[in-house]
Amino acid sequence: MMAIDPVTLAILKGRLEQIADEMDATLFRSAFNPIIAEAHDASHGIYDALTGDTLVQGKSGLPIFVGVMAFAVKAVIDKAATQGGLNEGDVWIFNDPYVGGTHLSDFRLVKPIFRDGKLFCFLASVGHWHDVGGNVPGNYNPAATECFQEGMLIPPVKLFSKGEFRQDVVDILSANTRLPLSLYGDLNGQINALDLGEKRMQALLDEVGDATLAETLAELKTRAADMMRAQIRELPEGTVSAEDFLDNDGIKDQPLKIALDLTIRDGRMVMDFSRSSAACAGPVNISRATTISACYVALKHVFGDVPANAGVLEPVDFVIDDDSLLSVKAPKPVGGYTETIMRLIDVVFQAIAQLAPEDAMAPAYGTINALSLAGHRADGKRWVMFSFFGGGHGAHAGGDGLNHGNAPISTATIPPLEILESAYPVRFTQWALRPDSGGPGTTRGGLGATYEIELLEQEADVFLFGERGRYAPKGILGGGNAALNSFTYEQTDGDHTPPMASKMLGIHINRGQRLKLETPGGGGYGSPLARDPEAVARDLALGYITAEAAVRDYGVVLAADGTIDLSRTEEMRRQEAAE
């Protein structure tokens, strides 16, 4: 083995990341679907030739895909072994969530890269397609009881065989979507991204040599594992526990528990989820691959200096029961995986807060509120609007949580209202921060948002897949909980809310009627009575909190002019602390 000096390693690491970044940018610029083009719900990376392990990922791609794409590439390796092996010019495509993680909307393309006839690595692309069939336009079906009601399921098959494009595969895909033009644009964007990635990878290999680059990739993985072990050794040994709940599974109105017993011992971390609920009837189940990937994302939030590759998980062991909602197999529905992995991240944050409070952060808002509207335009053409929405992030030792951010599972951005209004017959009559939605604390949770949408077309059907309607994002270390999620929709007889709080299908609205989402904030960190009164005053002046919340949650005393009386506030807080 040759030694790589630190300078060369840093340079080549940057060059490899640039390849992944360029693939990201290529797809974002060429995709037809706003969820990829604007929200950046996609990812690209470089993967190990033998194991499929993640070696390098672009900085703009979704972190949740780092882990699941390793399982996806391994699925292609296994499938190819039964069909004569891998060849130059092959590109595999599939969306099977039980071997590749996440859900049916995420289509994966995997391309082997050869040097002198020998496999060197894989490049892979994953993107969230706009519609892949199923019962619900946009594919977030809150009432699905099997994956066949969520969309088409494609196992790993060749899209290109030795460089020859297979039109028959594309014909099958196009016949199973409500939006074939969108599918065509997204698919070709992913193909072009992989073509560019191969061109850049071959040029880098020509420049530095196969042996040097192979050693670089191995060293990056080793260093990530070593850094992760060192971080784990700094944590106190022992076991801590945390648990949180999903509202329901969309079928039975019963809460579902996600429980973590986290053990630190001998430089290793054990994440035991065996106390979690069993697999459920509805679509909040996830595969084992998705569970492990969500834990990776949570750990990367806590240990941010560790490089983003498979080495992060080398010193981590997982205990996940086979019959758990965290390890299901086909045909159990998994379409709402985003809601479950956010609760997974929440329990990891809550557990870490007990071990390393200075590194911990409170749970974020905990739901993407997947909302679909669908109908026909005046000329008869089909339209499908699918979007997700933001909320507040959790507070931490260093400061308040982020207001109106996207979910911590991703680096995606919330689609701009201008793009949504230009693409679909809707008008946003409100898009604003939601007062009092962040959990109170020494540092305050970030604020959620209020979105109000008016239909401009004659009629539409509406589908919502959300969470946190009954179990608010928790505060940590004495911090308060954030506000609950809320959804209302207008009918001729007034406003209504979903019977299951956060999930519903079959909502029919007419022109001029409105939908309203009020999303949660993030949990608070530390006692609210320890928050600087000047910070409370600033929050009050900015409209982040109301006067009632300032008194109720932070123990401040307001003067007649609405400002904070500092001396009386200090006295009041001393009394409350004593009590």
What's the confidence (pLDDT) of residue 2? 59
Closest CA to 400 of 440, 353, 367, 346: 440
Q: Is the pLDDT of residue 411 over 70?
A: no
Burial 57-76 (b: 16+ CB within 10 A, else e): bbebbbbbbbbbbbbbbbbb
**Rg of the chain's alpha carbons, rounded to an integer?**
24
Q: Is the pLDDT of residue 301 over 90?
A: no
Q: List the strands of the sheet with 494-496, edge to edge.
A: 426-433, 449-455, 514-518, 486-491, 494-496
Helix (H, G, I), strand (E, B) or coil at 382: strand
Closest CA to 101 of 366, 339, 280, 286: 286
Contact 409, 64 (CB under 8 A): yes
Rounded Cα gap, residues 547 and 562, in angstroms:
8
Instruction: For 98-155, write each residue's pLDDT tens digit.
Output: 999 899 999 999 999 999 999 999 999 999 999 999 999 999 999 999 999 999 999 9
DSSP for residue 563:
S
Look at 8-12, 61-65, 308-312, 546-550 and tell me which has the smallest mean pLDDT. Answer: 61-65
DSSP for residue 152:
-
Q: Is the pLDDT of residue 573 over 90?
A: no
Bridge partners, residue 144, by sequence: none
Contact 344, 407 (CB under 8 A): no
pLDDT range class, residue 553, cuts 50, 70, 90: very high
Pairing type for strands 494-496 and 256-265 reads unpaired
The long-range contacts involving 264-268, CB below 8 angstroms and separated by at least 24 positions, are 264/232, 264/235, 264/236, 264/237, 264/238, 264/239, 264/355, 265/237, 267/229, 267/232, 267/233, 267/315, 268/229, 268/232, 268/315, 268/316, 268/317
Rounded Cα gap, residues 194 and 483, in angstroms:
43
Instruction: For 321-379, write each residue's pLDDT tens digit.
Output: 999 999 999 999 999 999 999 999 999 999 999 999 998 999 999 999 999 999 999 99
Rounded Cα gap, residues 344 and 244, in angstroms:
8
What's the confidence (pLDDT) of residue 198? 98
Q: Residue 109: phi, psi to the nearest 5?
A: -120, 130
Mean pLDDT for the chain overall: 95
> What is the share, in percent, of the chain residues with pLDDT greater than 90?
88
CA dihedral 355, 358, 363, 364 (to 10 degrees): -160
Pairing type for strands 91-94 and 106-115 reads antiparallel
Helix (H, G, I), strand (E, B) or coil at 491: strand
- pTM equals 0.93
What is the mean pLDDT of the segment spanning 26-43? 93
What's the confidence (pLDDT) of residue 309? 87
pLDDT range class, residue 308, cuts 50, 70, 90: confident
What's the confidence (pLDDT) of residue 122? 98
Contact 246, 284 (CB under 8 A): yes
* Structural element, H or E, at residue 67: helix 64-81
Rounded Cα gap, residues 485 and 500, in angstroms:
12
Instruction: For 244-273, write each residue's pLDDT tens digit.
Output: 999 999 999 999 999 999 999 999 999 999
Rounded Cα gap, residues 391 and 412, in angstroms:
13
What's the confidence (pLDDT) of residue 562? 82
pLDDT range class, residue 65, cuts 50, 70, 90: confident
Q: Is the pLDDT of residue 564 over 90?
A: no
369 Rama class: left (phi>0) / alpha (psi -120 to 50) / beta: left
Instruction: For 416-443, write each residue's pLDDT tens digit.
Output: 999 999 999 999 999 999 999 999 999 9
Rounded Cα gap, residues 245 and 368, in angstroms:
16
Q: Is the pLDDT of residue 1 over 80?
A: no
Q: Residue 366 burial (CB < 10 Å; 0-12/13-18/19+)?
A: buried
Instruction: For 187-206, write each residue's pLDDT tens digit.
Output: 999 999 999 999 999 999 99
What is the mean pLDDT of the segment spanning 175-183? 96
* Structural element, H or E, at residue 48: strand 42-48
Q: Is the pLDDT of residue 560 over 90?
A: no
Comparing 409 with 453, the larger pLDDT belongs to 453
Q: Which stretches within 88-179 are classed as H helix?
A: 97-100, 167-174
DSSP for residue 307:
-
Instruction: For 441-481, write each residue's pLDDT tens digit.
Output: 999 999 999 999 999 999 999 999 999 999 999 999 999 99
What's the confidence (pLDDT) of residue 63? 77
What's the confidence (pLDDT) of residue 408? 82
Rounded Cα gap, residues 109 and 92, in angstroms:
5
HSE toward the beta carbon, residue 304, CA cutoff 13 A:
5
